């Protein structure tokens, strides 16, 4: 991995660091005004704070590469205000705070494989799979005679997450849920 990136290397998904803070390039637009040098307009996501900043660079400028590593880690358990994960390759354990895990916490189930991101060997973020299969812990019984196909009701999942699901979903059903949008996808069978 190069230690610096030139503007010609700029692309979506690039991980760079500015003033010692890691950023992810989430958008990059090239603009060539009539006169002068080309401009690279970038949206950069701060990987420590999850904020987005806009920066513009002139052709020929360089940015430092971030020492960011991503690997598969298994979610082990929750303790106090932290979440413990284990690297699937070397079995090293990492603890992330509730703030670092964010909204994904409501979809974490023991044994779930996630993508863990570290910066200078310190854990900074975790991303669960896009889809998880979870059991319904509680669902209101469907109202008799309510056969409309798009009627939804709140259901509580085994991890404590509450989502909207179709009226025909019952307590004990297994659901496939999108972790990015917290939306019901389909009813499915229990995982193997």
Query: ∠ at Cα 66 (15, 41), nearest 5°?
Result: 45
- In angstroms, the CA 169 to CA 148 distance is 13
pTM for this entry: 0.77
Along the chain (192 residues), what's the average pLDDT of each consecutive run of 10 residues?
82 90 92 87 90 92 91 94 93 92 91 93 91 92 65 90 90 93 90 76
CA-closest candidate to residue 26, choices 35, 16, 18: 16
- In angstroms, the CA 4 to CA 27 distance is 19
CA-closest candidate to residue 165, choices 155, 157, 178, 156: 155
CATH number at residue 111: 2.40.50.140
Structural tokens at position 39: 């401009």
Residue 115: predicted pLDDT: 95
Query: Are residues 59 and 73 located together in one domain of the fold?
Result: no
Residue 25: predicted pLDDT: 92
Q: Report the number of distinct structural domains present in the chain.
A: 3
Query: Are residues 58 and 84 located together in one domain of the fold?
Result: no
Residue 96: predicted pLDDT: 93
Domain of residue 9, residue span:
4-65
Question: Do 162 and 146 form a contact (C-beta atoms < 8 A)?
Answer: no
Residue 150: predicted pLDDT: 74
Residue 40: predicted pLDDT: 92
């Amino acid at each position: 991995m190069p230690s610096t990136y030139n503007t010609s290397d700029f692309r979506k998904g690039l991980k760079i660091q500015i003033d010692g803070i890691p950023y992810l390039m989430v958008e990059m637009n090239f603009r060539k005004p009539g006169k002068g040098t080309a401009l690279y307009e970038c949206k950069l996501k701060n990987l420590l704070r999850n904020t987005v900043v806009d920066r513009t660079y002139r052709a020929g400028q360089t940015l430092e590469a971030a020492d960011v590593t991503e690997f598969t880690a298994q979610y082990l358990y929750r303790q106090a205000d932290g979440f413990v994960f284990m690297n699937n390759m070397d079995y090293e354990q990492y603890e992330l705070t509730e703030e670092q895990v964010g909204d994904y916490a409501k979809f974490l189930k023991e044994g779930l494989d996630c993508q863990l991101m570290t910066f200078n060997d310190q854990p900074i973020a975790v991303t669960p799979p896009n889809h998880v299969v979870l059991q319904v812990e509680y669902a209101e019984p469907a109202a008799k005679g309510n056969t409309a196909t798009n009627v939804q009701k709140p259901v509580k999942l085994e991890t404590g997450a509450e989502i909207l699901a179709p009226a025909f979903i019952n307590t004990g059903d297994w659901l496939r849920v999108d972790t990015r949008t917290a939306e019901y996808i389909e009813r499915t069978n229990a995982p193997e």
